Amino acid sequence: MPAQPFTTVSGRAAVMREENIDTDIIFPARFLLITARAGLGEYAFHDRRFDGSGAEVPGYVLNTAPFRDAPVVVAGANFGSGSSREQAVWALVGRGMRAVISSSFGEIFYSNCLRNGVVPILLSEDELAVMMDAAETGAAFTVDLEAQELRVEGLPTRTFEVPAERRLAMLNGWDETDQIVNQYGDEIAAFERGQRGIQPWLYPEEHDA
Amino acid sequence: MTEPRTLYEKLWDSHVVAEMPGGASLLYIDRHIVHEVSSPQAFVAMRESGRRLRRPETHLGVADHAVPTRSRGGEIPDPQARAQVAELEGNVAEFAVPYADLEGPEQGIVHVIGPETGFTLPGTTVVCGDSHTTTHGAFGALAFGIGASEQGTVMAVQALPQARARTMKVELVGKRHALIDAKDIALALIAKIGSHGAVGHAVEYVGEALAGMAMSERMTLCNMTIEAGSRMGLVAPDEVTFAYLKGRRLAPKGAHWDAATAYWRTLASDPGAAYDKVVTLDLSAIEPQVSWGTSPNQTLPIGAAVPDPQAIADASERRETEKALAYMGLTPGAPLTSVAIDHVFIGSCTNGRIEDLRAAAAIVRGRAVAQGVRAIVVPGSAATRAQAEAEGLDAVFTGAGFEWRFAGCSMCVAMNDDRLAPGERCASTSNRNFEGRQGPGGRTHLMSPAMAAAAAVSGHLADVRDFA
């Protein structure tokens, strides 16, 4: 499914000064019983935003006026670790969060971001600390995927990298499956012919026939 | 003379379909396991785009995450779970995906039934919309978790763009003490290298100790590898692997078996193959482990005390420790063995196999679950449950006061009605002690099956060595 094309996102950045914000925190498992992928924004960080009675937790960054609608997250190391659930990313998108900045990411989460129009930006621990301080003052963040630039009010512009393939796909809203079908159909068929010769036992459909 | 290659490199090289501009490779995917929770959106994408599965026989469907474990058969009480399982059943029928029926003999957790049915084979690539797909690497398969979008791609084209990982060798040296389990080794490794110590790496476990490990223990090691941040754990296939697979329903037969084992023997890392990183773990120094925090690296030997944040110099680590202790409701300095528990959960894709149940039953036999503790055993599969019953393990557990359940993920992910109430504390053989993982506000301590059994009969965290 093609994601919305991404060019730039601008706004404030919500700071989460903790490590290991896993996908269970971003999207608690009990909401995985919902099979839709739209409308999940209301469950993002649910158990951090709300207490057991459903009341907002005062002081939590996403419950605090200037950061309630922040389109950028700046978080401690290992953000998005744990479960592969793509709902974690759909929930961010549902809240309008289109860029996440950390010093390391869960790898499956990172990959899911790039397939849903969310830009993950990797920084060193030191740079991350600077970004967190700036974000907490309410500085404006701009993530420009075309130029691969992170521009933060009051700080020098910094470039970042995402995988080239994914960047193009995000800028153009291309569907990955279509791309592979169109560009690699013959190569896939050729691979299968070769593999069938070496590992014929991997083709059960032929043995059962 | 070709350059010596690691197991990972051999698996990678043998699956590259094409090099893509920008540095990724298009990797062929041999096997895909589909469960009810992560697959609905992938099937929707297939339907909306009018695509068919390229090779339906290379997929295997099963319901495990949301299914009730108190009974099997009849209507699922939770309407959302009922709808999700019905949606999976509709999808596998529409797209001709082989399916392990919820009430059938092959149902179970994706990472237990893949190996049990012989769907998981050495030398293959295996994916699933589940991060613990690392488990299948125990067979020398390149196995990793993916998101729903990637699942849709695999269904349609049988391939995925992937970046080549760096390699990490984990050398297990020394001889472990009796009652030290693969789970203790896994937790000790994560405590040593951290919850993101292996990000970007494919981890291969090597060392003499591996030869003496059953497939169940190798699966536990590979399963927990994701908790160190790596998407892939690996063990080279050997005679133990072949003995496990021989005769399984989907394993190669006859001449194919001979050809397959000959091929599988070529997969082990070549002598002199280079790794990007090497970690050595001395098994003789490992004691039974128990997690105390909200990340699996927050783990200590059972003889230790709850950490004191005041004694931690690093500001960030101190803050993480304070946060975890507040959530876990623990007092700095208290002996871990003094921590009282409310629940015990034995099961999951980490520790729900027959060997795990035997290890727990060996401690439970002749003892009783402590007063006030609720303890459940959830076999990883219907086949595991049947085997345990044939050995009389169910009677050992129920006789001691455990509940004996049907197969599913259950209290590892708390998507069914097996969950903790806020503030309740659980000794668990599962893989994640994240906040809310076993229910909102629930507190999880990770440990081996024997350690969980010791906690069950003690009413508090306990040292399994006191029960030998």
Interchain contact, A201 vs B156, CB within 8 Å: no
Number of C-beta neighbours around residue B271 at 10 A: 6
B295: nearest CA partner in chain A = A20
CATH number of B289-467: 3.30.499.10
Model confidence at A204: pLDDT above 90: no
pLDDT at position B2 is 81
The superfamily (CATH) of domain B7-163 is Aconitase, domain 3 (3.30.499.10)
Instruction: Give the mean pLDDT of B105-115.
Output: 98
- Taking contacts as CB-CB distances below 8 angstroms, the residues of chain A near B28 are 188, 191-192, 195
Domain membership flag for residue A50: yes
Task: Report d(CA B29, CA B295) in Å as an integer.
Answer: 31
Is the CATH code 3.40.1060.10 the one for domain B166-237+269-285? yes
Looking at this predicted complex, what is its ipTM?
0.95
Q: Environment class of residue A137 by beta-carbon count within 10 Å: exposed (0-12), middle (13-18) or buried (19+)? A: exposed
The pLDDT value given to residue A4: 63
The model's pLDDT over B184-201, given as tens digits with 9 standing for 90+, comes to: 999 999 999 999 999 999
In a shared domain, residues A118 and A196: no
Shared domain for A124 and A162, answered yes or no, is yes
Q: What is the pLDDT of residues A133-182, one digit of tens each?
A: 999 999 999 999 999 999 999 999 999 999 998 999 999 988 999 999 99
Task: Report, as an integer, the average pLDDT of B377-394.
Answer: 98
Q: Do the bridges between strand B403-404 and strand B159-162 make them parallel or antiparallel, or are there none, so unpaired? A: unpaired
For residues B219 and A122, what is the distance between their CA atoms, to the nearest angstrom? 32
**B381: β partners:** B108
By CB neighbour count within 10 A (0-12 exposed, 13-18 middle, 19+ buried), where does B313 fall?
exposed
Q: What is the DSSP string of chain A?
A: -PPPP--EEEE-EEEE--S---HHHHS-GGGGG---SSS-GGGTTHHHHB-TTS-B-TT-GGGSGGGTT-SEEEE-SSBT-S---THHHHHHHHTT--EEEES-B-HHHHHHHHTTT-EEEE--HHHHHHHHHHHHTT--EEEETTTTEEEETTS--EE----HHHHHHHHHT--HHHHHHHHHHHHHHHHHHHHHHH-GGG-HHHH--
Cβ–Cβ below 8 Å for A83 and B131: yes
Cα B385 from Cα A114, distance rounded (Å): 41
Residue in chain A closest to B259 (alpha carbons) equals A199
Chain B contacts in chain A segment 44-63 (CB below 8 A): 47, 52
Average pLDDT over residues B155-160: 98
pLDDT mean over B229-235: 98
**Tokens in use for A110?**
């990172």
Contact (CB<8Å) B149/A115: yes
Residues of chain B with CATH 3.30.499.10: 7-163, 289-467
Looking at the complex, report in whole angstroms how far the Cα of residue A204 sits from the nearest Cα belonging to chain B.
Answer: 7
Given a cut of 70, is residue B229 above it in pLDDT? yes
Least confident of B31-35, B159-163, B392-396, B464-468: B464-468
Of B217, B206, B135, the closest CA to residue B184 belongs to B217
Same domain, A97 and A145: yes
Please indicate whether, in this complex, the C-beta atoms of B196 and A104 are within 8 angstroms of each other. yes
Q: Do residues A168 and A197 both lie within one domain?
A: no
Pair (A65, A97) in one structural domain? yes
A107 and A163 within one domain: yes
Mean pLDDT (whole number) for B211-221? 97
Choose among A47, A77, A198: nearest Cβ to B436: A47
What's the pLDDT tens digit per position in B256-311?
999 999 999 999 999 999 999 999 999 999 999 999 999 999 999 999 999 999 99
A19-38 average pLDDT score: 95
Q: Which of residues 94-113 of A touch B (CB under 8 A)?
A: 104-108, 111-112
Cβ–Cβ under 8 Å, residues B355 and B215:
no
CATH of the domain at A87: 3.20.19.10
Interface test with A, best of B10, B131, B256 (most A CBs within 10 A): B131
Residue B136 CB coordination number (10 Å): 33
> Are B319 and A25 an interchain contact pair (Cβ–Cβ within 8 Å)?
no
Q: What percent of chain B has pLDDT over 70?
A: 100
Q: Write the residue in B58, B121, B148 that is nearest to A86 by C-beta.
A: B148
Integer Cα distance of B332 and B422 in angstroms: 21
Q: Which residues are B404's β-sheet partners?
A: B377
Q: Is residue A84 part of a domain?
A: yes
Percent of chain B with pLDDT over 90: 99
| Interfacial A residues in 123-142 facing B (CB < 8 Å) | none
Task: Name every chain B residue with its beta carbon within 8 A of the beta carbon of A89.
Answer: 147
Cβ of A177 within 8 Å of Cβ of B123? The answer is no
Residues in chain A closer than 8 A to B159 (CB atoms) = 180, 184, 188, 191
Q: Indicate yes or no: CB of A208 within 8 angstroms of CB of B149.
A: no
CB A161 within 8 A of CB A120: no
| Domain annotation covers residue A146 | yes
Cα end-to-end span (Å), chain B: 52
- Distance, in Å, from the CA atom of A109 to the CA atom of B151, rounded to the nearest integer, reads 14
Tell me, yes or no, whether A98 lies in a domain: yes
Tell me what pLDDT residue B441 has. 96
Confidence at residue A209, expressed as pLDDT on a 0 to 100 scale: 38
Q: Which domain holds residue A81?
A: 8-172
Residues of chain B with CATH 3.40.1060.10: 166-237+269-285
Average pLDDT over residues B159-166: 97
In this structure, are A79 and A129 located in the same domain?
A: yes
Judgement on whether residues A165 and A180 belong to the same structural domain of the protein: no
Tell me whether residue A3 is in a domain.
Answer: no
For the four alpha carbons of B173, B177, B183 and B187, in that order, the dihedral sign comes to negative
Q: Name the minimum distance, in Å, from the CA of B423 to any CA of chain A.
A: 11
Number of domains chain A is built from:
2
Residues of A whose CB is below 8 A from B45 = 1, 177
Residue B26 and residue A187: Cβ atoms within 8 Å? yes
Q: Indicate which of B44, B195, B263 best probes the interface with A, i.e. most A CBs within 10 Å of its own CB.
A: B195
Confidence of residue B143 (pLDDT cuts 50, 70, 90): very high
Is position A79 within any domain? Answer: yes
In a domain, A1, yes or no: no
Is the confidence at residue A132, as pLDDT, over 50? Answer: yes
Q: Quick one: A16 and A119 in the same domain?
A: yes
Which pLDDT score, from 0 to 100, does residue A1 have? 47
Q: Is A174 on the interface with B (CB under 8 A)?
A: no
Name residue, tokens 């055993």: B377
Count of CB atoms within 10 A of residue A45's CB? 25
| A128 chain-B contacts, CB cut-off 8 A | none
- Examine the pLDDT at B386 and tell me if it is beyond 80: yes
> What is the per-residue pLDDT across B424-442, written as a single tens digit (0 to 9) for each?
999 999 999 999 999 999 9
> Are the beta carbons of A24 and B55 separated by less than 8 Å?
no
Q: What is the 3-state secondary structure (H, E, C) of chain B?
A: CCCCCCHHHHHHHCCEEEECCCCCEEEECCEEEEECCCCHHHHHHHHHHCCCCCCHHHEEEECCCCCCCCCCCCCCCCHHHHHHHHHHHHHHHHCCCCEECCCCCCCECHHHHHHHHCCCCCCCEEEECCHHHHHHHHHCCEEEECCHHHHHHHHHHCEEEECCCEEEEEEEECCCCCCCCHHHHHHHHHHHHCCCCCCCEEEEEECHHHHCCCHHHHHHHHHHHHHHCCCEEECCCCHHHHHHHCCCCCCCCHHHHHHHHHHHCCCCCCCCCCCCEEEEEEHHHCCCEEECCCCCCCEEECCCECCCHHHCCCHHHHHHHHHHHHHHCCCCCCEHHHCECCEEEEEHHHHCCHHHHHHHHHHHCCCCCCCCCEEEEECCEHHHHHHHHHCCHHHHHHHHCCEECCCCCHHHCCCCCCCCCCCCEEEECCCCCCCCCCCCCCEEEECCHHHHHHHHHHCECCCHHHHC
Evaluate whether residue A142 is within a structural domain. Answer: yes
Question: Is the pLDDT confidence value at B176 over 60?
Answer: yes
Residues of B in contact with A177 (CB under 8 A): 45, 49, 51, 152-153, 156-157
Q: CA–CA separation, B147 vs B45, rounded Å?
A: 13
Is A38's Cβ below 8 Å from some Cβ in B?
Answer: no
Which residue, among B7, B111, B170, has the nearest Cα to A84 in the 3D structure? B111
